[in-house]
């Protein structure tokens, strides 16, 4: 029995010590200031090449997933596009991975690393697909697995998608610790890591991000094989940023320097993600603005000292779509293309409809992932749950949707229209957060270089805009 103080403040104070023991990474080796660290060196020192990662993933039924042309959906988009417009929409079917989502890539390297280093088990905090992915990879590596889930509101009511994913975790042999919404999730994660001595399969470690790089690499190789060119745009569902970061890094490693990286989230503006009252008013547990906006504007808000997921570092464009639009496109994918996939994985497909109608016919836009569906993950379950929680569900113009109050499902495909966000507004929000963490007057040249790289701007732009903050 440990004699360590397990009060909230004491456990949180031991965060760095616990992380070092559970990861084998000393983040202090990379940190230069309260805002800057050597990101590139941290990623390189995982010690894996793309070929290494692909080999490891092949051992546990991950990767080499098919890339499909969505011909019928593309034809429908072309019907209302201007002459010569309507890019080919392609989808990378990540539901073909063990555990049914791209998260298997993210979990694979952590599980491999844990087994290689002799850890007896692996732990992750996840209410979603990542938990199932970690459990699946742990099973294949002979590791014990514990998944901490944020499942219930104060009434004890759980979101059906989260409950379904908990069932999947347990099916793969994991123990699940089901928690209510609130700040105790990371506290319990730290306690469990400390008490068990298991490996920390955090979503935000370099291992997790490196595992997704093969996804971008495969997209590049498959599009080149089919079209003898690089993808013109890749659309990526954005939540915590790891999906976008890993995929973009893989594309760049494959030489796709001109490919447009487009992020997409479901607009849940007005709903507070840490609110017990709002917890069950959302029909998407990931891929929404409650994660997407905060993590873009300040990534280091997670369970590790420095987040390896840096979305603004790679993002060219950011679109928001409504819940109703995603449900409509999910149904359309099933009816037109014979692919029944989960709504969360179709967020990026919804944005791709808007992009395709603006792009030339000889161009290619790739939807970067799908996820499995069934039981609580199915869009019909989500819509029933919404109605039971007092949400109005109706047909009409989706721009009339009010998150937490109504879900308006389009009458026709032309009404699906992603809304492009102001990237500089996101970058300025990042700068404000950086200034709050470290006074601008104390910034070094390295700080400026890091911030510029982290928001995909040059140092001149950063200095020009931080001067406005000082004034």
Per-residue pLDDT of the chain (471 residues; tens, 9 = 90+): 467 889 988 988 888 889 889 998 989 999 999 999 999 999 999 999 999 999 999 999 999 999 999 999 999 999 999 999 999 999 999 999 999 999 999 999 999 999 999 999 999 998 788 999 999 999 999 999 999 998 888 888 888 888 898 999 999 999 999 988 777 888 899 999 999 999 999 999 999 999 999 999 999 999 999 999 999 999 999 999 999 999 999 999 999 999 999 999 999 998 887 788 888 888 888 899 999 999 999 999 888 889 999 999 999 999 999 999 999 999 999 999 999 999 988 999 999 999 999 999 999 999 999 999 988 888 999 999 999 999 999 999 999 999 999 999 999 999 999 999 999 999 999 999 999 999 999 999 999 999 999 999 999 999 999 988 876
Token pair of 253 as six digits? 């490693």
Q: What is the rounded CA–CA span in Å between residue 37 and residue 16?
A: 15
* Cβ neighbours of 189 (radius 10 Å): 23
Q: What is the rounded CA–CA span in Å between residue 238 and residue 265?
A: 5
The pTM (predicted TM-score) of the whole model is 0.95
Q: Which residues pair with 429 in a beta bridge?
A: none
Q: What is the rounded CA–CA span in Å between residue 243 and residue 329?
A: 21
Q: Which residues pair with 233 in a beta bridge?
A: 260, 365
Q: Give 1: exposed, middle or buried? Use CB within 10 Å, 0-12, 13-18, 19+.
A: exposed
> DSSP states of 255-322 as a string?
T-TT-EEEEEEE--TT--TT-TTTGGG-S-SSSBHHHHHHHHH----SSSSS-S--GGGT-SEEEEE-
The values of phi and psi at residue 124, to 5°, are -145, 150
Whose structure tokens read 């149904």?
Answer: 331
DSSP state, 395?
Answer: E
All structural domains of the chain, each given as residue ranges with its CATH number in brackets, are 8-21+101-205 (3.40.50.1100), 55-100+207-420 (3.40.50.1100), 434-470 (no CATH)
């Amino acid at each position: 029995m440990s004699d360590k103080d397990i009060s909230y403040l004491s456990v949180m104070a031991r965060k760095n010590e616990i992380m070092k023991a559970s990861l084998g990474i000393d983040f202090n080796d990379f940190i230069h200031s309260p805002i800057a660290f050597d990101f590139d060196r941290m990623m390189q020192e995982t010690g894996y090449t793309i070929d290494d990662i692909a080999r490891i993933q092949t051992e546990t039924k991950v990767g080499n997933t098919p890339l499909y042309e969505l011909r019928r959906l593309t034809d429908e988009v072309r019907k209302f596009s201007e002459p010569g417009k309507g890019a080919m929409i392609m989808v990378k079917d990540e539901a073909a991975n063990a555990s049914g989502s791209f998260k298997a890539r993210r979990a694979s390297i952590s599980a491999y690393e844990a087994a290689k280093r002799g850890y007896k088990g692996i732990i992750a905090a996840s209410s979603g697909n990542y938990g199932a992915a970690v459990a699946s990879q742990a099973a294949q590596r002979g590791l014990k697995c514990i998944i901490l889930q944020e499942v219930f509101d104060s009434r004890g009511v759980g979101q059906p998608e989260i409950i379904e994913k908990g069932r999947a975790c347990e099916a793969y042999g994991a123990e699940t610790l089901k928690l209510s919404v609130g700040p105790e999730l990371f506290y319990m994660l730290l306690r469990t890591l400390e008490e068990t001595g298991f490996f920390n399969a955090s979503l935000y470690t370099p291992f997790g991000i490196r595992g997704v790089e093969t996804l971008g690499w495969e997209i590049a190789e498959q599009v080149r094989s089919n079209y003898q060119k690089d993808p013109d745009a890749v659309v990526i569902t954005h939540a915590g940023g790891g999906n976008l970061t890993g995929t973009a890094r893989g594309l760049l490693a494959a030489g796709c320097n001109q490919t447009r990286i487009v992020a997409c989230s479901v607009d849940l503006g007005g709903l507070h993600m840490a609110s017990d009252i709002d917890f069950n008013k959302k029909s998407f547990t990931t891929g929404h603005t409650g994660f997407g906006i905060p993590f873009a504007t300040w990534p280091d808000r997670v369970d590790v000292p420095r987040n390896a997921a840096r979305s603004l570092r790679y993002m060219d464009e950011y679109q928001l779509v409504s819940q109703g639009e995603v449900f409509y496109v999910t149904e359309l994918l099933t009816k037109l293309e014979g692919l029944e996939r989960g709504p969360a994985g179709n967020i990026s497909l919804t944005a791709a409809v808007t992009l395709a109608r603006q792009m030339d016919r000889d161009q290619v836009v790739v939807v970067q992932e799908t996820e499995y569906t069934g039981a609580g993950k199915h869009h019909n379950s989500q819509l029933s749950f919404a109605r039971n929680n007092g949400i109005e569900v109706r047909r009409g113009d989706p721009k009339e949707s009010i998150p937490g109050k109504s879900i308006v499902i389009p009458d026709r495909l032309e009404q699906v229209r992603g809304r492009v966000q102001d990237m500089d507004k996101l970058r300025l929000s990042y700068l404000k957060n950086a200034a709050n963490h470290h006074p601008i007057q104390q910034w070094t040249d390295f700080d400026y270089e890091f911030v510029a790289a982290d928001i995909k701007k040059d140092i001149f732009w950063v200095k020009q805009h931080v001067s406005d903050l000082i004034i």
